[in-house]
Amino acid sequence: MAAATAVAVMTTNHLAFLFFSFAVGFVLFSALLLLLRKRPWCSCHVCEAYLSSSWAAEFDNLCDWYAHLLRESPTGTIHIHVLGNTVTANPANVEYMLRTRFDNFPKGKPFSALLGDLLGQGIFNVDGDAWRFQRKMASLALGSVAVRSYAFGIVSDEIRRCLLPLLSSVADRGDGVVDLQDVFRKFAFDTICKISFGLDRGCLELSMPMSEFAAAFDTASRLSARRGTATAPVVWKLKRLLNVGSERELKRAIRTINMLAEEVIRQRRKLGFASSHDLLSRFMGSVEEEDKYLRDIVISFLLAGRDAVASGLTSFFLLLSQHAHVAAAMRDEIASVTKGDGDGVVSYERLKEMHYVHAAIYESMRLFPPVQFDSKFCLEDDVLPDGTFVCKNTRVTYHPYAMGRMESIWGPDWGEFKPERWLRHGVFTPENLFKYPVFQAGQRVCLGKELAMVEMKTVIVSIVSKFDFKVLHGGRTVKFVPGLTATISGGVPARVTRCVSRRLP
């Protein structure tokens, strides 16, 4: 009797497994048919190279291949048909998308779906009224003199208490080697926690080391970005539905990130927010406190404040290590402005006098923008200024990384790290934002631009005058980890030494 029952149970389980397998197979087959009907495969050389990854034989990064294709294009625009994506490095097209026809090129629901699990309804992932409200709130906060002063004080204090002592200890060590990317990511995380949330990392009561939260953020960024490179979006959507593979890993990473966001919100409520200058407190004091909404704001601030700033600093010192004459010129300017008294953190007023340093930062981000590309979706059929027809419901991407490498924009010396290209009679002179959309442009221009520049400039001036950096294997080609912001694979290990004091007579 028992044996018969066991056989019956096994038979039932076997039938259930067969039915489940058939159902999954049928769904996959149906999805494939739908995909083939909606997006026919293309046999052009660009799409074939994309699908086969044959481009990787010549280029280390997808962004470098795109830059090559865009330089070769007469209009500075290309089509990746299998992605339904038009990619441009033409400043006229960028202006058309971001200003002239702004309403016809929103983020769009398809793009919001790609990043929705990570960014939710945060400012970087919404359109319409939701975007306008968050932008207005952020604008009021970031435009406040009190907030800017508050932020500069935090950055200066973190440099004085943490960054300079850390680099001093590394320089005095035997090998003197440290991963600059790791250093700047930790520094940027600590400063953004204080500026945006009014919290010290040490006050967060977390169930795991901060390194695990950082790893989860990196994983979520990488896997969310991978969705955008898929020729068959239905595949990642199906994997998310079944909770398997990369989508299961993404879900786990976001669950970890949510724990951090929830703790930030909890601590901010515990400490109160009525009289605080941090950005989260200002949102809490102006909207009904809905945890999901606040969570999305926290994640957006972390993405902008940690990843983008750290990326900008990392690539700057990578380039500076290879251009000793730029480092020498910066030290001369710093010594001149500070009158040789550069032992402490330079004041905000003195920072504004350092035009060469400012130019060097802009030049670094021309070659290595923290956000390498940005996509919009076309609502209605349109024609870009270069004559490119864009079909409605397709993606249009402008590519700051490629734009920084266009001879048509920067001339034949585009590959040189040359801060002087930003100076007119020794004064920093910015270019048209649509030619240099590192901070976006038009109605979506980055509200944190000035804050980010002040933070990077303060860090750079404070440590360049005191330390020399020699990146190990600095001559190798930079390889990026796929993600929402530029992260260098393998980090940036560098040898740190104290530099000889340069005091004016």
Cα angle 391, 65, 109 (rounded to 5 degrees) comes to 35
446 marked as part of a ligand binding site: yes
| In the block, residue with structure tokens 């993600």 | 483
Q: Tokens 């009904």 belong to which residue?
A: 288
Place of tokens 């033409």: 90
Q: Specify the amino acid at residue 450.
A: E
Q: Please tell me the total number of residues recorded for the chain in this structure.
A: 505
Pairing of strands 395-398, 85-88: parallel
Query: Are 484 and 224 contacting, i.e. CB atoms less than 8 angstroms apart?
Result: yes
Distances (CA, A) of 21 to 233, 245, 326, 415: 22, 17, 62, 54
Is 376:111 a contact under the CB 8 Å cutoff?
yes
Give dist(CA 105, CA 444) in Å, integer: 11
* Three-state DSSP class for residue 119: helix
- Sheet with 467-471: strands ordered across: 177-179, 493-498, 467-471
Whether 48 contacts 54, CB under 8 Å: yes
> Helix, strand, or coil here: 72?
helix
- Tokens 């910066």 sit at which residue? 330
What is the residue whose two structure tokens read 């990619």? 87
Please work out, in degrees rounded to the nearest 5, the angle formed at the alpha carbon of residue 428 by the alpha carbons of 485 and 180.
35
As to burial, measured by CB atoms within 10 angstroms (0-12 exposed, 13-18 middle, 19+ buried), residue 351 is buried
Contact status, residue 462 vs residue 346, Cβ threshold 8 Å: yes
Residues in the annotated binding site: 446
Residues of each annotated binding site for heme: 446
